[in-house]
Homo-oligomer: A and B are copies of this chain.
Protein backbone atom coordinates (compact mmCIF):
# COMPACT_ATOMS: atom_id res chain seq x y z
CA UNK A 1 0.00 0.00 0.00
CA UNK A 2 2.98 2.27 0.57
CA UNK A 3 4.46 4.09 -2.44
CA UNK A 4 8.13 3.25 -1.75
CA UNK A 5 9.63 -0.14 -0.94
CA UNK A 6 10.49 -0.65 2.73
CA UNK A 7 12.30 -2.99 5.10
CA UNK A 8 10.10 -4.60 7.76
CA UNK A 9 11.59 -6.00 10.95
CA UNK A 10 10.07 -7.45 14.07
CA UNK A 11 11.21 -8.77 17.40
CA UNK A 12 11.14 -12.20 15.69
CA UNK A 13 13.84 -11.07 13.25
CA UNK A 14 16.05 -10.26 16.24
CA UNK A 15 15.34 -13.51 18.10
CA UNK A 16 16.02 -15.61 14.98
CA UNK A 17 19.32 -13.81 14.49
CA UNK A 18 20.47 -14.88 17.96
CA UNK A 19 22.02 -18.27 18.76
CA UNK A 20 19.52 -20.90 19.90
CA UNK A 21 21.29 -20.95 23.29
CA UNK A 22 19.92 -17.43 23.96
CA UNK A 23 16.43 -18.91 24.08
CA UNK A 24 17.37 -21.46 26.71
CA UNK A 25 19.25 -19.35 29.24
CA UNK A 26 18.18 -16.85 31.88
CA UNK A 27 20.77 -14.42 30.50
CA UNK A 28 18.98 -14.59 27.15
CA UNK A 29 15.21 -14.61 26.71
CA UNK A 30 12.79 -16.91 28.52
CA UNK A 31 9.26 -17.86 27.55
CA UNK A 32 7.54 -18.95 30.78
CA UNK A 33 4.79 -21.62 30.62
CA UNK A 34 2.22 -18.96 31.66
CA UNK A 35 3.05 -16.80 28.64
CA UNK A 36 5.36 -14.34 30.40
CA UNK A 37 8.46 -13.33 28.46
CA UNK A 38 11.58 -12.24 30.37
CA UNK A 39 14.61 -10.70 28.66
CA UNK A 40 18.00 -11.11 30.38
CA UNK A 41 21.20 -9.01 30.18
CA UNK A 42 22.76 -10.74 27.14
CA UNK A 43 19.53 -10.32 25.21
CA UNK A 44 19.46 -6.63 26.16
CA UNK A 45 23.03 -6.09 24.97
CA UNK A 46 22.38 -7.55 21.52
CA UNK A 47 19.01 -5.78 21.35
CA UNK A 48 20.67 -2.40 22.00
CA UNK A 49 23.06 -2.98 19.06
CA UNK A 50 20.14 -4.17 16.93
CA UNK A 51 18.17 -0.98 17.61
CA UNK A 52 21.17 1.18 16.72
CA UNK A 53 21.59 -0.77 13.49
CA UNK A 54 17.94 -0.47 12.44
CA UNK A 55 18.07 3.26 13.16
CA UNK A 56 21.21 3.48 11.00
CA UNK A 57 19.33 1.81 8.11
CA UNK A 58 16.65 4.49 8.32
CA UNK A 59 19.28 7.24 8.50
CA UNK A 60 20.88 5.71 5.39
CA UNK A 61 17.65 6.41 3.55
CA UNK A 62 15.62 3.19 3.83
CA UNK A 63 11.95 3.31 4.78
CA UNK A 64 11.71 1.02 7.80
CA UNK A 65 8.75 -0.66 9.52
CA UNK A 66 9.39 -2.05 13.00
CA UNK A 67 6.78 -4.40 14.47
CA UNK A 68 7.65 -4.34 18.16
CA UNK A 69 6.14 -5.69 21.38
CA UNK A 70 6.93 -3.25 24.21
CA UNK A 71 7.19 -5.76 27.06
CA UNK A 72 8.64 -2.97 29.21
CA UNK A 73 5.98 -0.42 28.18
CA UNK A 74 7.22 3.20 28.18
CA UNK A 75 10.79 2.10 29.04
CA UNK A 76 10.87 -0.09 25.91
CA UNK A 77 9.64 2.77 23.73
CA UNK A 78 12.36 4.95 25.24
CA UNK A 79 15.04 2.47 24.15
CA UNK A 80 13.97 2.99 20.51
CA UNK A 81 13.25 6.71 20.88
CA UNK A 82 16.77 7.72 21.80
CA UNK A 83 18.26 6.01 18.70
CA UNK A 84 15.52 7.12 16.30
CA UNK A 85 16.23 10.63 17.50
CA UNK A 86 16.38 12.97 14.47
CA UNK A 87 14.40 10.55 12.27
CA UNK A 88 10.79 11.05 11.23
CA UNK A 89 8.77 8.39 13.10
CA UNK A 90 5.07 7.48 13.10
CA UNK A 91 4.27 5.63 16.34
CA UNK A 92 1.29 3.35 15.75
CA UNK A 93 -0.45 1.47 18.56
CA UNK A 94 -2.09 -1.75 17.39
CA UNK A 95 -4.73 -2.71 19.93
CA UNK A 96 -7.19 -5.55 20.40
CA UNK A 97 -9.62 -6.37 23.21
CA UNK A 98 -7.86 -8.81 25.54
CA UNK A 99 -10.56 -11.46 25.27
CA UNK A 100 -10.46 -11.40 21.47
CA UNK A 101 -6.64 -11.44 21.46
CA UNK A 102 -6.68 -14.46 23.79
CA UNK A 103 -9.13 -16.20 21.44
CA UNK A 104 -6.90 -15.54 18.42
CA UNK A 105 -3.93 -16.89 20.36
CA UNK A 106 -5.79 -20.17 20.91
CA UNK A 107 -7.06 -20.25 17.30
CA UNK A 108 -3.50 -19.87 15.92
CA UNK A 109 -2.55 -23.03 17.72
CA UNK A 110 1.19 -22.29 17.76
CA UNK A 111 1.44 -19.95 20.73
CA UNK A 112 2.07 -20.37 24.46
CA UNK A 113 -1.41 -19.86 25.91
CA UNK A 114 -1.52 -16.89 28.25
CA UNK A 115 0.85 -14.64 26.33
CA UNK A 116 -1.95 -12.43 24.99
CA UNK A 117 -3.53 -11.86 28.41
CA UNK A 118 -0.15 -11.47 30.10
CA UNK A 119 0.98 -8.82 27.60
CA UNK A 120 -2.31 -7.03 26.85
CA UNK A 121 -1.95 -4.27 29.40
CA UNK A 122 1.82 -4.10 29.83
CA UNK A 123 2.79 -3.38 26.24
CA UNK A 124 0.76 -0.16 26.02
CA UNK A 125 1.51 1.16 29.54
CA UNK A 126 2.83 4.70 29.24
CA UNK A 127 3.49 4.33 25.52
CA UNK A 128 2.76 7.44 23.43
CA UNK A 129 1.32 6.96 19.94
CA UNK A 130 0.70 9.24 16.96
CA UNK A 131 -2.07 6.94 15.80
CA UNK A 132 -3.91 3.92 17.12
CA UNK A 133 -5.80 1.15 15.31
CA UNK A 134 -7.97 -1.52 16.89
CA UNK A 135 -8.18 -4.94 15.23
CA UNK A 136 -10.99 -6.20 17.47
CA UNK A 137 -13.70 -5.39 14.93
CA UNK A 138 -11.61 -3.91 12.09
CA UNK A 139 -9.95 -6.02 9.39
CA UNK A 140 -6.16 -5.88 9.11
CA UNK A 141 -6.40 -4.35 5.62
CA UNK A 142 -8.60 -1.48 6.90
CA UNK A 143 -6.11 -0.84 9.72
CA UNK A 144 -3.27 -0.85 7.17
CA UNK A 145 -5.15 1.72 5.05
CA UNK A 146 -5.61 3.99 8.07
CA UNK A 147 -1.89 3.79 8.81
CA UNK A 148 -0.80 4.26 5.16
CA UNK A 149 -2.90 7.44 4.99
CA UNK A 150 -0.60 8.92 7.66
CA UNK A 151 2.60 8.03 5.83
CA UNK A 152 3.53 10.77 3.36
Contacts and interface: CB of A to CB of B under 8 A. Distances in A.
A42 to B, nearest CB: 5
A88 B80 CA distance: 27
Contact of A103 (B28, B54, B141): B141
A30 to B, nearest CB: 15
Identical chains bound together, number: 4
A14 B57 CA distance: 12
Interface residues of A, number: 45
Interface in A87-139: 100, 103-104, 106-107, 109-110, 137, 139
Contact of A9 (B17, B55, B100): B17
A8 B17 contact: yes
Interface of A: 2, 5-9, 13-14, 17-22, 28, 42, 45-46, 48-50, 52-62, 100, 103-104, 106-107, 109-110, 137, 139-142, 144
